[in-house]
Structure 1
Amino acid sequence: MNQNNGMQKRMLIMTLVVFVFFIAYEFLVLKPQQEAKAEKAKQEQAQKQNAAPDVNTAATQMVATDVNGNPVDMSKSVEALSSKAIANNQIVSVIKTAKSIIEIDTLGRVAQVTLLEEKYKDENGNQIKLFESNQLRPLEVRFADTNINTEAFKVSVVASSSNVDASTSAQELVLTQNLGDTVLTKKFTIYPDGHYDLSVSTTNDKQFFITNGFRPNVLADMYAVHGFIAKLNDSTLKTIEDGDLDKNETIVGTKFISNFDRYYATVIYNFEKSLTLSLMPDSSSNPQAFVHGSNNISFSGYIGPKNHRDLESLNPELIDVIDYGWFTFIAKPMFILLQFIQGYVGNWGWTIVILTILIKLVLYPLSYKGMVSMQKLKDLAPKMKEIQTKYKDDKQKQSMHMMELYKKHGANPMGGCLPLLLQIPVFFAIYRVLLNAIELKGAEWIFWIHDLAEMDPYFVLPILMGVTMYLQQKITPNTMQDEMQKKIFQFLPVIFTFFFLWFPAGLTLYWFINNLFTIGQQYYINSVFERKRAEKA
């Protein structure tokens, strides 16, 4: 087979295999690994019970009250059996903001954050809670002095108020922990939007460290990055995914730190005085961050959804908490454009449709060149076959005559692949944007799509995506001679449909609309070439 023609086919196959491998690897390999790690971590943390009492046992032995003060028999409550249940006797203060309820435990840590906005509900219809009961909790303090550290996990804090209503105006809360000769004090200012300012100090110059806690554990799946991210003073970002930290590490000079899952994050930030921190792996090599507090420290914090506008309102630099992976440099401006369009359209589904059309228009010159090149190669296929047969024993002459044929007819054997390869970063960028955009949470589109962040409940969009992919394949010129290659390509719509069954509806909508417009473009190119053939005839 001619070298250039063979290379063209190999690149086309490679391009499509990259897509299939990318999705298959995440679904079949990464997801089982992450689930196994998470389960192992839960078991080990439950066994250790280090600074995290078995709250599930405690919860089943008491009668508690809900957030409205109504009695609840926890021994019979489904909530008590949840891995996110926090025993009532562990809570010293409950803070209510306009968007969340923050519970502070007896050791002065954030035990739980419950999101109050209507769209933040789990699969059972309950308001989303961000943390597991036995994980490393935000704002936990650890002392350099071993004796004081041991004491600090035995002595309860005293709260200035057991209930704080910051839903309409900023409120203060002071937590005091008397550790003999040393007193630890945490002074909070909590704001209605859910963020807080915190000042932590100790007497006797006792050195301490304070953590932003393990990441929220609501949606840590195979599709999105989750772990730790820090923004350094030089504005570079350092990201460590769960399972990737194998040793202790110290980072000097950071503006913010965040541990995050797909949609939610716990953040500590200070843009006036940089933070120094130590990273330590837990039993599953997940990153745990401890900020060096010396004997006093002040910073701000946020625990909640990675909503672009909310983070930007706190500080524009906090937008970097939203991590899009390798293609962040394309994904960020793409999301800004998406949000801009939504501001006018008012519906995220139609916004995705419009964005897809705009992307297709911008990339049309590349697509056009690729399609034209494929048509030319299709027309030359019989002559290429003749040359291959005639010079099958002389590869050098075969290659020379092929190049003459391409030059004579203005064909480029790489022309069909290169435009497609150049579009891959854009495809992956929009993939990451739609995957990580919590703005799609609870966003309806039409009829049966009530949440663009969830899978299509009736699989309509994935099936339509598969059908359009099949139609696109049927009308696209195919110069492949090898039967095995043809069969592989014929199965691609089935393979993609299978994986897209579980993808967020917003992402599937993008691929479906993208396929529709590709079919239109290909049909137009095909008709142009058919006209030219008719004129020549």
Structure 2
Amino acid sequence: MDDQNKNLILATALSFVVILVWFLLFPPPEQAPGVTDASGEVTAPASTATGEVASPGVATPTESQAPGELPDQTVDAALAGNDRVDIETPRLTGSISLEGGRIDDLSLSDYREELSEDSDLVRLLSPVGTEAPYYALHGWIATVGVDQDQVPGPDTVWSVESGSTLAPGAPVTLTWDNGAGLTFRKTFAVDDDYMFTVNQTVENNSGADVAMRPYGLVARHGEPDTVGFFILHEGVVRMSDGELEEIDYDDMPDLSTDESRVEVVENGWVGFTDKYWMTTLIPAPGSEFRSVARAAGVDEDNPRSGVYQTETIYPQQTVAAGDTLSAESQLFAGAKEWETIREYEQGGIEGFIDSIDWGWFFFLTKPIFAVLHWLNALIGNMGWAIIGLTLIIKAILFPLAFKSYVSMAKMRELQPEMEKLKERAGDNREEMQKGMMELYKKNKVNPASGCLPILLQIPIFFSLYKVIFVTIELRHAPWIGWIKDLSAPDPSSILNLFGLLPWSTPEPGSLFFIFSLGILPILLGVSMWLQQKLNPAPTDPTQKMIFAWMPWVFMFMLGGFASGLVIYWIANNTITFIQQYTIMRSQGYKPDLLGNILGAFRRDEGSEEK
């Protein structure tokens, strides 16, 4: 086996194995202070002599949501269970519960569960009593001079002091008097996108100094449904003074105290991230706080059990008699849109763009997406933007490609001599290898140079795959005709003659979906096959068989991949074919595609023998 084909086989096999693994995997603690009583209600931790309280307590499920039991309330029924203040913005709709003053009802007006216009809006937050409670709560931890039952808790019923509907430019203020001289207020504001500002105040008319710690928390009851794909992080994501940390849900119950909490000196944030959505607590830039990520009551045999919680706990503050204390923070609850999150980062939230899972190849995925986003804004269609990005990538790699294709052309020229050498050497591999090296040296051919563009394509391919898989900008983004969602597989199918026959096709993720080839996967196989016809034919029969089957194997493998990725690969193969054809002609060869398919390849007339 010659070095050229050895290296080519190695590079292609590496790509094949990694993609195969991806395809097979692709799916269609120490509890901090704070206890739960028998009724399932939260009992906040008691104050200490120093005022040092570790946590506001875990927001545990009520009895109706005990481990192993499913709730029997619909969202509408749960929402009707207490008084609420509506939330209406250009991009959000929902409500704030006056019980606890928590944001626990939030849907995204720009996003639907399915492509259909009749599909439900994507629901981000849900109230307690539903199947998957998920909410944000802000409050105070009593430390000195005040008991925990004298500060508002998760069951405190607030009153509306001002405002009727929370909207941009229209804040809402809630109030609660503890009857012992302390008056608490929460003022909620929201912008045009996904950022809430929560300002908490306490007015002290008790006649004595008191001390307490403000906090914010985001709680999820039960482990949420996740995509479960290893290249995507879903769970806790937090930034602590420039250091990004990601924690999976199944790791949270086993976190030690040191792993669970981080003392942040200046800048940070913490929250839960899904594939496309995120809920994040964001203290004011420059603020000192404790960042906490933990879980309690988790039963490994019951994924709906326990509570997963992130917290931001601020330093103890003293409220002198007659004074008012204020604490302000932000809450992001919405879609992980690159442009929106970047604007928040530019507005002072350090490292917020890293809440998007860019992966190990972040140095490639970030610029790749930035260019893709720019092309989409310029062209107005993400599918054509992917093709434009492919053109740019191929232009950048063209100098290397030129050397590679020139090397391949020379290898083509040496094919007759290689065949003669093989006949002379017979089964003597040592003599064959020695003869090949002399032949390469004599003709100044570097067999490894043809593999370099292939090796460079692998991290680029992985990075683009990551971008297409994790970024929301491709979700439900159409291209042409039948391609309505570039983040989903090609919905057409050879099994029903691409819609001509009156039966449906297997769903993505099912056993038979791999055989339900769409138009794009078929075009991919054909483009790989045509490109292969320009490369030197392997002399070894085993290699020849592997190369002959490879386009069709990839065609089936990638049938279940996102349409955007398949479009990239088709465009890449097509551009590569054009480049290679042109360069080979410039080197004195005239590729005859029909003849090459039949195993023939002829040189340009009048070219000199080298």
TM-score, length-scaled by structure 2: 0.69
Counterpart CA distance in 1 for 2:546 and 2:308 is 41
Q: Deviations over 1:349-379 (max 9, x none)?
A: 2222212211111112222333333343344
Counterpart CA distance in 1 for 2:308 and 2:410 is 54
For the residue of structure 1 that corresponds to 2:124, the secondary structure is: coil
> How much has 1:201 moved relative to structure 2?
6.1
Alignment-derived partner of residue 289 in structure 1 = 310
Counterpart CA distance in 2 for 1:370 and 1:90 is 70
For the residue of structure 1 that corresponds to 2:136, the secondary structure is: coil
> How much has 1:389 moved relative to structure 2?
6.3
Counterpart CA distance in 2 for 1:191 and 1:101 is 13
Alignment-derived partner of residue 576 in structure 2 = 518
Counterparts in 2 of 1:316-355, with a 5 A limit?
A: 316=346, 317-355=351-389
> How much has 1:500 moved relative to structure 2?
3.3
One-letter amino acid of the structure 1 residue matched with residue 291 of structure 2: L
Alignment-derived partner of residue 26 in structure 1 = 25
One-letter amino acid of the structure 2 residue matched with residue 252 of structure 1: E
**Mean Cα displacement is larger for which, 518-527 or 51-60?**
51-60
Aligned residues: 493
Which of the numbers 104, 107, 110 marks the counterpart of 1:111? 104
Q: Deviations over 1:272-323 (max 9, x none)?
A: 3244212225646997422223456532121111112222232324222222
Counterpart CA distance in 2 for 1:184 and 1:498 is 62
Structure 1 residues 16, 451: closer, same or farther in 2, change over 3 A? Answer: closer
One-letter amino acid of the structure 1 residue matched with residue 550 of structure 2: L
One-letter amino acid of the structure 2 residue matched with residue 11 of structure 1: L
Unaligned runs of 5+ in 2: 29-39, 41-57, 205-209, 318-326, 493-517, 591-602
Structure 1 residues 309, 131: closer, same or farther in 2, change over 3 A? Answer: same
Which of the numbers 279, 293, 298 marks the counterpart of 1:279? 293
Asked if 1:230 corresponds to 2:238, the answer is yes
Asked if 1:424 corresponds to 2:458, the answer is yes
Alignment-derived partner of residue 102 in structure 1 = 94
Counterpart CA distance in 2 for 1:141 and 1:497 is 55
Structure 1 residues 236, 99: closer, same or farther in 2, change over 3 A? Answer: same
One-letter amino acid of the structure 2 residue matched with residue 266 of structure 1: T
Structure 1 residues 308, 13: closer, same or farther in 2, change over 3 A? Answer: closer
Asked if 1:536 corresponds to 2:608, the answer is yes
Alignment-derived partner of residue 525 in structure 2 = 466
1:360 touches 1:514 (CA, 8 Å); kept in 2? Answer: yes
Counterparts in 2 of 1:111-150, with a 5 A limit?
A: 111-117=104-110, 119-122=111-114, 125-131=119-125, 133=130, 134-139=132-137, 148=148
2:419 touches 2:539 (CA, 8 Å); kept in 1? Answer: no
Counterpart CA distance in 1 for 2:604 and 2:106 is 67
> How much has 1:115 moved relative to structure 2?
0.9
Structure 1 residues 199, 142: closer, same or farther in 2, change over 3 A? Answer: closer
Asked if 1:247 corresponds to 2:251, the answer is no
**Mean Cα displacement is larger for which, 311-320 or 405-414?**
311-320
Alignment-derived partner of residue 565 in structure 2 = 507
1:258 touches 1:267 (CA, 8 Å); kept in 2? Answer: yes
Counterpart CA distance in 1 for 2:63 and 2:565 is 41
Alignment-derived partner of residue 598 in structure 2 = none
Counterpart CA distance in 2 for 1:23 and 1:150 is 54
**Mean Cα displacement is larger for which, 384-393 or 273-282?**
384-393
Which of the numbers 253, 258, 274 marks the counterpart of 1:261? 274
For the residue of structure 1 that corresponds to 2:482, the secondary structure is: coil
Counterpart CA distance in 2 for 1:476 and 1:287 is 55
Counterpart CA distance in 2 for 1:268 and 1:391 is 71
**Mean Cα displacement is larger for which, 525-534 or 309-318?**
525-534
Q: Deviations over 1:53-93 (max 9, x none)?
A: 64875536xxxxxxxxxxxxxxxxxx76xxxx844215633
Counterpart CA distance in 2 for 1:136 and 1:479 is 59
Q: State the percentage of identical aligned residues.
A: 27
2:294 touches 2:310 (CA, 8 Å); kept in 1? Answer: yes
Alignment-derived partner of residue 192 in structure 1 = 192
**Mean Cα displacement is larger for which, 185-194 or 348-357?**
185-194
Alignment-derived partner of residue 40 in structure 1 = none
> How much has 1:95 moved relative to structure 2?
1.6
One-letter amino acid of the structure 1 residue matched with residue 239 of structure 2: K
Alignment-derived partner of residue 207 in structure 2 = none
Counterpart CA distance in 2 for 1:430 and 1:274 is 38
Query: What is the aligned-residue RMSD (CA, Å)?
Result: 3.9
Counterpart CA distance in 1 for 2:217 and 2:125 is 15
Counterpart CA distance in 2 for 1:13 and 1:382 is 25
**Mean Cα displacement is larger for which, 464-473 or 490-499?**
490-499
Structure 1 residues 506, 293: closer, same or farther in 2, change over 3 A? Answer: same
> How much has 1:114 moved relative to structure 2?
0.5
One-letter amino acid of the structure 1 residue matched with residue 399 of structure 2: P
Structure 1 residues 181, 57: closer, same or farther in 2, change over 3 A? Answer: farther
Structure 1 residues 380, 442: closer, same or farther in 2, change over 3 A? Answer: same
> How much has 1:345 moved relative to structure 2?
1.8
> How much has 1:474 moved relative to structure 2?
3.5
Structure 1 residues 500, 275: closer, same or farther in 2, change over 3 A? Answer: farther
Which of the numbers 15, 28, 51 marks the counterpart of 2:61? 51
2:92 touches 2:106 (CA, 8 Å); kept in 1? Answer: yes
Counterparts in 2 of 1:66-85, with a 5 A limit?
A: none
One-letter amino acid of the structure 1 residue matched with residue 60 of structure 2: N
One-letter amino acid of the structure 2 residue matched with residue 308 of structure 1: W
Counterpart CA distance in 2 for 1:220 and 1:149 is 41
Counterpart CA distance in 2 for 1:462 and 1:164 is 54
Counterpart CA distance in 1 for 2:387 and 2:330 is 38
Q: Deviations over 1:205-237 (max 9, x none)?
A: 34565323459968735263322322332x342
Counterpart CA distance in 2 for 1:320 and 1:153 is 33
One-letter amino acid of the structure 1 residue matched with residue 246 of structure 2: T
1:143 touches 1:149 (CA, 8 Å); kept in 2? Answer: no
Counterparts in 2 of 1:210-225, with a 5 A limit?
A: 210-214=216-220, 220-222=227-229, 224-225=232-233
Q: Deviations over 1:19-53 (max 9, x none)?
A: 423522432xxx38xxxxxxxxxxxx9xx993356
> How much has 1:325 moved relative to structure 2?
0.7
> How much has 1:271 moved relative to structure 2?
2.1
Counterpart CA distance in 2 for 1:217 and 1:182 is 38
Counterpart CA distance in 2 for 1:494 and 1:375 is 25
For the residue of structure 2 that corresponds to 1:188, the secondary structure is: strand
Q: Which has the higher helix share?
A: 1
For the residue of structure 2 that corresponds to 1:243, the secondary structure is: helix
Counterpart CA distance in 2 for 1:507 and 1:6 is 27
> How much has 1:524 moved relative to structure 2?
2.5
Which of the numbers 329, 335, 339 marks the counterpart of 1:305? 335
TM-score, length-scaled by structure 1: 0.78
Counterpart CA distance in 2 for 1:514 and 1:177 is 66
> How much has 1:149 moved relative to structure 2?
8.7
2:400 touches 2:453 (CA, 8 Å); kept in 1? Answer: yes
One-letter amino acid of the structure 2 residue matched with residue 261 of structure 1: D
Structure 1 residues 499, 107: closer, same or farther in 2, change over 3 A? Answer: farther
Structure with higher Rg: it is 2
One-letter amino acid of the structure 1 residue matched with residue 345 of structure 2: N
Counterpart CA distance in 2 for 1:309 and 1:293 is 30
One-letter amino acid of the structure 1 residue matched with residue 457 of structure 2: Q
Counterpart CA distance in 1 for 2:198 and 2:547 is 58
For the residue of structure 1 that corresponds to 2:521, the secondary structure is: helix
Unaligned runs of 5+ in 1: 33-44, 61-78
